[in-house]
Structure 1
Amino acid sequence: AVPLGLVGASAVLLVLSALGACALDTYVAAVYEHNVILSEDTEVPVSPEEALMLMEKNIAILEVAIKEAARQGAHIIVTPEDGIYGWAFTRETIYPYLEDIPDPQVDWIPCADPGRFAPSPVLERLSCLARNNSIYVVANMGDKKACNSSDPKCPSDGRYQYNTNVVFDSEGKLVARYHKYNLFVTEKQFNYPKDPGFVTFNTSFGSFGIFTCADILYHDPAVVLASRLQVDTILFPTAWVNTLPLLSAVQFHSAWAMGMGVNFLSANTHNCTLEMTGSGIYAPDGPRAYYYNTEMDNGHLLVTELSSHQTASINKHSFNGVVYHDLFSFVELTESKGHRAICQQDLCCHLSYKMVKKHQDEIYVLGAFDGLHVVEGEYYLQVCTLLKCLSTNLSSCGQPVEMAQTKFEMFSLSGTFGTSYVFPEVLYSGVQLAPGEFEVLTDGRLISRTTTSKPVLSVALFGRWYEKDPPHTAQASP
């Protein structure tokens, strides 16, 4: 028998550890770039036993990476798209590699309950890797779902086949399943799902969203996860062929992380012959770790620390204020440096900043407006702005101000604009311009080049969405 006092003490410890787990401000992320062992001929059908043998060879390599990531303290590891069996299959030849992956709502730990569903050796192996190493494991595999003639879209072979990401938590439980929505043109072996899946899950170290490779080029589900669902980190298994000058893996994936203001864990396959390399762990203010190597044939593990909550402050403690008759959403810059974000409609504004010295009698806010301006003319605006409030009363934010005392050592302002007509503004105290002191980067960020020479009144990206203007009228509205 166990003394009751010990039971009570252990219960208290469990509660305390749970509370501590909820307060993780940082976490350790890992991605593994994997040189996939490929089938000799993807046009020739193989038996399920032969398919499993190939997958076991790749999983054995992934296991080494997972164990090493866990040894280095990683909370989560992402492995590549097609990392377990490769690519270039037909519908028929991919079939032996597929498993029937249940909805995570079934609350299943394959490692602990292997016989609960259809035979799932790959799910079981991945679950055990997560469970035995106390680490979240993200992997890409194939899902199969039977269908029949009652479904008018059912393929002639009676099944849907999906390019699928799975996530197992540190107990080995299946917590996420995502079917790739934007298939690459060569993926004839797979179907795309009827609707885009906006797959998210929460952990003690932040909220996560997941999508795959070509999905990053489209609005759904990628932009929705980052802007509307406001996840902190995107998980991104990919088999990315580098395409210079604009779409090299490390180049574009880091840019997307910056543009959307999220952490981004990108695990690419490695195949020098096919120009496939480039994995990274990216934060909104730049890469934390990345790997690009066209000379070596071996895989590569990246492990580094990230901030847990990139977008947790989005619209938290937000308030409204009026700028020239438009109702803006604002969030106060309460610290002298940091990263803030605010969303209104489809526009999300992101700001990284550092003040030289924060004056106690001055308040600055980050604001967003996405809507039709209707006073003294009707025209559609999307505006992201950093501005000084008239007084220390938040209700004064948005009113005209001409003088300020606070300089900024740096600022970086960006937004998820729906228009390409975005005009950068920087205005200093005394209504002075700042020639040569700021620039707009190719990814759309408005940044300071030096410490501002004068205190700042406002910094803005002023967007005009001309296509959303009402029809032209003879005169402006009164």
Structure 2
Amino acid sequence: MIVGEFILIFIASFAVYSRQTSTPQLPFYTAGVVEFKGASSTLDDLEQVNNNLAAYLEIISSQEAAETDIIAFPEGTLNSALQSTFVPDPKLNITPCNQTQYAYFLQKLSCQAKISKKYVVVNLVEKENCTAESQIANKDPRRCASYGLNQYNTNVVFDRNGVIVSRYRKFNLYYEPWNVTLRPEYGQFTTDFGVKFGHFVCFDILFYTPTTELIKSNITDFIFTTKWFSELPFLTAVQYQQSWAYSYDVNLLAAGASNPSTGNTGSGIYLGKKGALLSVMKSTPERKLYVARVPKKGFPGSNSIPVQNLQIRNKRATTSSINNLLVKRDRRIDSFITVPLNTSTQHVQLCYRDLCCNFNYKTTLLKPPANSLSYQYRLAVFDGDRIYPGIDPLGWSVCSVMACINNTLEGCGLGFNETVRVSPQLRFDHILIEANFTKTENNLLMPNSVDESLMPLGIESFRFNISDAGYKNIARFELLKPRDDLIQFGIYVSFFGERSSTSHLTQISNNLLILCSLFIVFKLKNL
């Protein structure tokens, strides 16, 4: 069959399958991601769960959800520690619907998945009995809490019959009070429409385990439940979601909690190197389902499907400005090596230890109104670690053009006050950033960008490629279309495994040496 005939059949099939489920024979499935505002904290715990559950059930059974094969809800918007639930092991093939040993909201969600005939992914607080005997059986040397329960940040997946087919307990916690499993779990399940999914939670996306390990097992479609706290200039929600999916060239369904006043928003459906089908960054909270048809990776002819035939509702919902959303500033950038961007120069090499970044750019000076302020820009390079309490360091490197509210490094990663009129004084007609990075099995080189609306540049606006140069990888990130609204444009590299572990071991060794030295000094003083 030629491609043209295939596309015609594909388009015609919408009329047949618009209210039916996908099948292994179709080149797409229909997915929904929910941007969701949790219930008001003024309600008590039970009232919050009831409120959230009612909204979940309404979304699953809504007309907007009628075409979906799978719906994903975000992290942390269903229940609390005081309203936690037991979750059966997926190996048992249990349907919690009307099974009273489970919390009523787990029962209701199971029943609704069964009624609606959809795969449903939710994130919740799970509880598990912990005894000395169970710890021995699990070969877990850790002691149980005095109240005899473990509590996890858990993804739960229901199939079309309401059966729990997958459970994943978050392994990388971000200042959270939950337990973690002794060994990482790997959330994955296979659907009746021929797609195998991996799934993980929020902070996990920055780590090798479990995300990269799932990718290395040849999973190409992922579900990401998140309650993300956006951070400039590299880690706003949609910015990083698109960058991650692009770099691994996987389909990503990201469902984000929606509370912009505390920094939470960001959902989307991404097709790897084909970019975002839809993406959402909102300045006001919402409870909304976003739907698109997702081409199946590796399905014959799926790469030839026109994007307009995939977008059920073509959404790029954004904040009106970065001032309408609480955004953190990455304080690590104060230790970057930076220089102000000089518009009279078109080539700069900037180095941080052994990492050297080459910047080539062409700019046009603009004339902003006299009563306005403008972003200024710095070229930046960094190579080092980011430390989180209780977690191995994350190795990362950056070559970046960053916007700043003044001519100092401390002004980078910030937005102007909402009362200020902002106008561009510089247009980037072209940017090319090039750098050599040490080649390891466990690093991820990403194109990373964000504009004033807190959205990444579309794939039509840039070119990114990596070439092999022996023990080095050469990364090139190029701006193809003029822009006057850039907040950040750069190469962002995460290092996993050996590099981070080595840094962690080095830190431990150094600490041991310090302790030994102090011990020797103490002994000498007491001779």
Structure 1 residues 33 and 260, CA, compared in 2 at 3 Å: closer, same or farther?
A: same
User: Given the two structures, how large is their TM-score scaled by the length of structure 1?
Assistant: 0.58
Task: Determine the C-alpha separation between the residues in 2 that align with 1:59 and 1:301.
Answer: 15
- CA 1:276 to 1:69, structure 2 compared with 1: closer, same or farther past 3 Å? farther
User: Within 5 A, what are the aligned runs for 1:201-350?
Assistant: 201-203=189-191, 204-226=193-215, 228-284=216-272, 285-294=274-283, 296-309=284-297
> How far does the alpha carbon of each residue in 1:39-68 deviate from its partner, in whole angstroms, 9 at most, with x for none?
338xxxxxxxx6443212101112222223
Aligned counterpart, 1:423: 474
Equivalents in 2 of 1:335, 1:213: separation in Å?
29
Aligned residue type for 2:207: Y
Opposite residue 219 of structure 1, the aligned amino acid is Y
Partner-residue secondary structure (3-state), 1:73: coil
Give the equivalent residue in structure 2 for 1:363.
Answer: none
Partner of 1:134: 117
Alignment of 1:45-194 (within 5 A): 51-68=45-62, 71-85=65-79, 94=81, 96-111=82-97, 114-115=99-100, 118-150=101-133, 151=135, 152-153=141-142, 154-185=144-175, 187-188=176-177, 190-194=178-182
Is the alpha carbon distance of 1:302 and 1:155 closer, same or farther for their aligned partners in structure 2, counting shifts above 3 Å? Answer: same
Q: Matched residues in 2 for 1:66 and 1:143: separation? A: 22
1:131, CA displacement in angstroms?
1.2
Distance 2:165 2:207 in 1: 25
Question: Deviations 1:338-373 (Å, cap 9, x if unpaired)?
Answer: 9xxxxxxxxxxxxxxxxxxxxxxxxxxxxxxxxxxx
Q: CA deviation at 1:420?
A: 9.6
Equivalent-residue separation in structure 1 for 2:228 and 2:132 (angstroms) = 36
Match of 1:29 among 28, 31, 49: 31
1:40 matched residue in structure 2: 42
1:414/1:265 CA distance change after superposition, 3 Å: farther
Conserved? CA contact 1:145–1:161, under 8 Å: yes
Shift in CA distance, 157/281, structure 1 to aligned 2, threshold 3 Å: same
Root-mean-square deviation (CA, aligned residues, Å) is 3.9
Show CA shifts across 1:90-118 (max 9, x none).
Answer: xxxx2x3111111011111222x524xx2
Q: Does residue 197 of the first structure (1) align with residue 185 of the second (2)?
A: yes
Q: Write the deviation string for residues 12-53 of structure 1: whole angstroms up to 9, x where unpaired.
A: xxxxxxx98222310111011111004338xxxxxxxx6443
Indicate conservation of the 8 Å contact 2:467/2:474, yes or no. no
In 2, the alpha carbon distance for the partners of 1:305 and 1:59 equals 26
State whether residues 36 and 58 of structure 1, in contact with CA within 8 Å, keep that contact through their aligned partners in structure 2.
yes
Mapped contact 1:110–1:172 kept (Cα < 8 A): yes
Q: CA deviation at 1:220?
A: 0.3
Residue by residue over 1:293-341, the C-alpha shift from the partner in whole angstroms, topping out at 9 and shown as x without a partner, is: 11x232222101111225x79xxxxxxxxxxxxxxxxxxxx99979xxx
How far does residue 288 in structure 1 lie from its aligned partner after superposition? 0.3
Separation (CA, whole Å) in 1 of partners of 2:152 and 2:303: 48
Give the counterpart letter for 1:99 in structure 2.
Answer: T
Paired amino acid for 1:158: G
Residue 155 of structure 1 and its aligned partner are, at CA, apart by: 2.4
Indicate how the Cα distance of structure 1 residues 158 and 263 shifts in structure 2: closer, same or farther if over 3 A, else same.
same
Deviation at 1:83, TM superposition (A): 1.1
Aligned counterparts of 1:336 and 1:120: Cα–Cα separation in 2: 43
| Cα gap change, 1:120 to 1:255, in 2 (>3 Å) | same
| Cα distance between partner residues in 2 of 1:253 and 1:246 | 11
Q: Helix, strand or coil: the match of 1:211?
A: strand
Are the structure 2 counterparts of residues 416 and 114 from structure 1 closer, same or farther at C-alpha, using a change threshold of 3 Å? farther
**1:148-200 deviations in whole A, cap 9, x for unaligned?**
23534122332211100001111111111100000111x11x10111111121
Query: Take 2:224 and 2:99, find their aligned partners in 1: how far apart are those partners?
Result: 27
Rate the CA distance shift 1:168–1:300 in 2: closer, same or farther, 3 A. same
The 8 Å contact of residues 76 and 137 in structure 1, kept in 2 or not, is answered as yes
> What are the Cα deviations for residues 353-400 of structure 1, in whole angstroms up to 9, with x where unaligned?
xxxxxxxxxxxxxxxxxxxxxxxxxx9887xxxxxxxxxxxxxxxxxx
Q: How many residues are paired up?
A: 311
The 8 Å contact of residues 34 and 300 in structure 1, kept in 2 or not, is answered as yes
Residues of 2 paired with 1:278 and 1:410: CA distance? Answer: 21
Q: Is the 8 A contact 1:38 1:85 kept in 2?
A: no
**Which stretch has the larger CA shift, 127-136 or 212-221?**
127-136
In the alignment, the residues of structure 2 paired with residue 201 and residue 249 of structure 1 have an alpha-carbon distance, to the nearest angstrom, of 25
Name the SS for the 2:269 alignment partner. strand
**SS of equivalent residue, structure 2 residue 160:** coil
How far apart in 2 are the matches of 1:336 and 1:157? 53
What SS is found at the alignment partner of 1:230?
A: coil
Q: Any runs of at least 4 consecutive aligned residues in structure 1 with deviations exceeding 6 A, and if so which? A: 334-338, 379-382, 409-413, 435-438
Equivalent residues of 1:39, 1:85 under 8 A apart: no
Cα distance change on mapping 1:129 and 1:207 into 2, 3 Å: same
Which amino acid in 2 is paired with 1:281?
A: I
Whether the 8 Å contact between 2:467 and 2:475 is mirrored in structure 1 is no
Give the whole-Å Cα distance in 2 for the aligned partners of 1:281 and 1:335: 16
- Please give the alpha-carbon distance, in whole angstroms, between the structure 2 residues aligned to 1:121 and 1:254: 36
The gaps in structure 1 that reach 5 residues or longer are 1-18, 42-49, 87-93, 314-333, 339-378, 383-408, 426-434, 446-464, 469-478
In the aligned structure 1, how far is the partner of 2:149 from the partner of 2:479?
A: 61
